[in-house]
Structure 1
Amino acid sequence: MLLMGGDRIDEAVAHAAKVLRAVADRDWNVKAGGLDWSCLKTAEHIAGDFVFYAGQLTGRAADTYVPFEIALDEGTGPEGAIEVIEATGGMLAAVVRTTPRGVRAYHPYPSGAADATGFAAMGVAEVLLHTHDIARALGADAEPPADLCEAVLSHLFPHVPPTPAGGTPWTTLLWATGRGTLPGRAALVPWRWHNPLSLPAGPVVLREVTPAAAMDLAAGGTGGLTWIDGGPFDGTRRAAGMVTKAYFAGVHRPMWGLYAVVRAADETAVGGMGFHGPPDENGCAEVGYDLAEAARGRGYATEALRSLSRWALGRPEVTSLLAVIEPTNTASQGVVTRAGYVRLPDRDANHAYGLHPA
């Protein structure tokens, strides 16, 4: 399973410590590969990221970075730097494990916040990539386990096409972060990772489902969520399968896939909602949704659809939204009507509803 958490941080730190200890007897004052920092400064940066990410979560930073930084004591050498990476990595892993689900803290990409799994993924990415930078300068190999690279890619780089034939998840991650090349792909400059979007919707919150979570849902798992009795419903699992298929086909676009509808009061997932894909050439995006039976009749779907529609219509590439509903599904027709959608000509014997910007 590719979901992110404290165990992934522990695994990445153990890998980094093993790689770095093998070159601890070399000169760490040389520049790390591809960076302007020395190897020792790069190690300090890894530890600083761990503490910084932990501080964002424990401080519940809402709209800025917590104003502090860490530095190695003067005279610290390679072995001491590795010990600091291990210690600070353990701090972040502990914070990730104990941060309540739903807590989000400031991080600029792409929407101003990330949850504990997002900070875990960023911490894993930082230690893997900067360990590579150090090892590259010192003439050592730093390739991590493939499943660890796949977990980072599926969480932070959902926009990156899957590993091509002849490549590995590690070479794909290096390409995705401007550190390597892949046959048939232009250099990715600039590069940026993606943290899942979260949209408030009254009593519920829409949480973007990562490809990793979608794979788990499609396979019968929970997607890392706590579900209401009877959930997730069949439509949510089918939508997760669509995200998974699009991801492996290289056509998945972040924010235009599946969202979990999560009850804000207790962080219980009650359904799924999202898009059938990005807007088409005319700027139309099709929406779909379902709720577990135990969550119906409470207005959750209507509030979630209003929020998701408002967000989508605020995007410059969107000109309209479409919902196609079976004629017998009167409850779903009521949801779109209450959310402001209007009846359109039928589509293949199904009722169609549309919404345009005000």
Structure 2
Amino acid sequence: MRFMGAERVEQAAESCAALLRTVVGEDWENTKAGGLEWSCRFTATHIASDFIGYASNLAGRAQSSYVPFDITVDGAEDGLYRADNAGLIHVVTTMGALFAATLRTTPREVRAFHPYPFRSANRDGFAAMGIAEALLHTHDIAQGFGVPYEAPAELAEYVLTTIFPAVQPGPAPWPTLLWATGRGELPGRARVTDWRWSNNLVLPTEHLTLEGVTPAAAADLQAGGDGGFDWVEDGPFDGTRAASGMMVKAYEAGVHRPEFGVYVLVRREDGRAIGGMGFHGSPDGDGRVEVGYDLAESARGRGHATQALRALAEWALAREDVTSVFATIERDNLPSQAVVGRSGFTLVSEAGEQGEMLAYERRG
């Protein structure tokens, strides 16, 4: 799956600029942007500020806070720095170009600070957030001036499948994104009054990183792609593709909880993906959640699965809604039984008609 974030940011910046050019002669300073308290001028400046702010966090590898700066659009009406409406459109497209250039030069494994919800985002997440800011606030500005605006469907879909993993797909991506952000209605769904986007969860271990899979990446893995990861030669294994397919079904049904989805195991030493691990769904009414995993054959026998399973189980059991993590393993799969044993699981029962499956559990 080729990274398309930079190209899509450029598309979003141009989509915004195209709308702004249609109202370039209007009074931006004294017109409110849709349902916001901001003026249309402030809203356009905000789009530009988001572009360069996200670029700065990625380029500076910020880890604990935003890079502490802001942009100021010069208000002079003459001289070299003319900041009339046309000048502000130029600022938006320029900041979009700088953001796209940063995305193109940021390695896949880099994560930088963003507060919600897990304190970091990768380049896909930052790209999707920047696109969302541009499209949604362009919509707000268009509403302020009473002119129509419809964002490109592929951009809205990119945003939804990257940072809105818990939002069930609707009849079309753009109306769904408007609904998900409290800006529109969808038949059969209650209006949204409070919303947040959600970047993927990452769990670090000594030798591995467990990277949460987005719906976009899961769909690509299910279809035979790489999900945007750099896999070892014999990966991904069949189980990872099957689990990704299950996650896609849950997403399409509107029951997917992203933190209880699929994780790809990435080696720290070289950034190569070696396997998948994740949950079969959300915790049940008793707080029990099932976990499964697989590794590419070339990565087995090195303790990777044990390290990853310990980390995932400990993360789950630290939550208030999880009381136990269990796994079912074939009776003749001795290596996998050893993995769960080393990870703190104990044998609790036999399963299957002939007792061919063993159930293991780890409790909080």
* Paired residue secondary structure (2:258): coil
SS in 2 for 1:272: strand
Q: CA deviation at 1:168?
A: 2.2
What secondary structure is seen at the aligned counterpart in 2 of 1:344?
strand
**8 Å Cα contact 1:261/1:270 also seen in 2:** yes
Matched, 1:8 2:8: yes
Residue 288 of structure 1 aligns to a residue whose secondary structure is strand
SS at match of 2:259: coil
Q: 2:238 aligns with which of 227, 234, 240?
A: 234
2:271 equivalent in structure 1: 267
Deviations 1:142-181 (A, max 9, x none): 2111121111111111111110xxx421111011111111
1:15 partner letter = S
Maintained 8 Å contact 2:288/2:323: yes
Cα offset, 1:21, TM superposition: 1.0
Q: Is residue 4–residue 121 contact of structure 1 (8 Å, CA) maintained in 2?
A: no
Match of 1:49 in 2: 50
Q: Which runs of 5+ in 1 are unaligned?
A: none
Alignment check: 8 A CA contact 1:230 1:294 kept? yes
**Separation in 1, partners of 2:334, 2:103:** 43
> Following the alignment from structure 1 to structure 2, what is the Cα–Cα distance between the partners of residues 8 and 346?
51
The structure 2 residue matched to 1:162, chosen from 166, 169, 189, is: 169
User: Offset of 1:2 from its aligned partner?
Assistant: 9.5
Q: Which residue of 1 aligns with 2:60?
A: 59
Q: Is the 8 A contact 2:2 2:228 kept in 1?
A: no
Match of residue 77 from structure 1: 84
Q: Quick one: structure 1 residues 5 and 260, their matched pair in 2 at CA, closer, same or farther if it must change by over 3 Å?
A: same
Q: Which moved more, 1:8-17 or 1:195-204?
A: 8-17
Deviations 1:163-221 (A, max 9, x none): 0xxx4211110111111111221222210000000000211100000000000000000
The percent identity for this pair of structures is 55
Q: Aligned to 2:203, which of 189, 199, 224?
A: 199
Matched, 1:302 2:306: yes
Partner of 1:140: 147
Q: 1:133: Cα distance to partner?
A: 0.6
Q: Determine if the alignment matches structure 1 residue 111 to structure 2 residue 128.
A: no
The amino acid of 1:24's aligned partner reads V
How has the CA–CA distance of structure 1 residues 230 and 335 changed in structure 2, closer, same or farther, with 3 Å as cutoff? same
Q: After superposition, give the CA deviation of every residue in 1:264-285 in whole Å (9 maximum; x if it has no partner).
A: 1211100000000110111001
Q: Deviations over 1:248-292 (max 9, x none)?
A: 111111111100000112111000000001101110010000000
Are 2:290 and 1:286 equivalent residues in the alignment? yes
* Counterparts of 2:97 and 2:350, CA distance in 1: 57
Distance of 1:328 and 1:266 partners within structure 2: 33
Q: 2:74 is aligned with what amino acid?
A: D
Q: Identify the range of structure 1 (92-101 vs 283-292) with the bigger mean alpha-carbon deviation.
A: 92-101
Counterpart of 1:344 (choices 302, 327, 348) is 348
Counterpart contact for 1:3–1:212, Cα < 8 Å: no
- Normalised by the length of structure 1, the TM-score is 0.97
TM-score by length of 2: 0.95
- Residues 33-58 of structure 1, C-alpha deviation per residue, up to 9 Å, x if partnerless? 11111111101000000111111111
1:21 equivalent in alignment to 2:25 = no
Q: Which amino acid aligns with 2:93?
A: E
SS of the aligned residue for 2:204 comes to strand
Q: How far off is 1:3 after superposition?
A: 6.0
Could you tell which deviates more after superposition, 87-96 or 177-186?
177-186
Q: Which amino acid aligns with 1:58?
A: A
Q: Distance in 1 between matches of 2:358 and 2:3?
A: 37
Give deviations 1:115-161, integer Å, cap 9, x for gaps.
Answer: 11111110010000011111111122221111211111111111111
- Pair 1:90 & 2:97 matched: yes
SS in 1 for 2:260: coil
Matched, 1:316 2:323: no
SS of residue paired to 2:34: coil
Q: Are the aligned partners of 1:175 and 1:188 in contact in 2 as well (CA < 8 Å)?
A: yes
Show structure 1 runs of 4+ deviating over 4 A.
1-4
Residue identity opposite 1:339 in structure 2 = S
Q: Is the 8 A contact 1:4 1:151 kept in 2?
A: no
Cα distance, 1:195–1:332 mapped onto 2, change above 3 Å:
same
Deviation at 1:4, TM superposition (A): 4.9
> 2: CA distance between counterparts of 1:188 and 1:108?
21
SS in 2 for 1:79: helix
Letter in 2 for 1:37: W
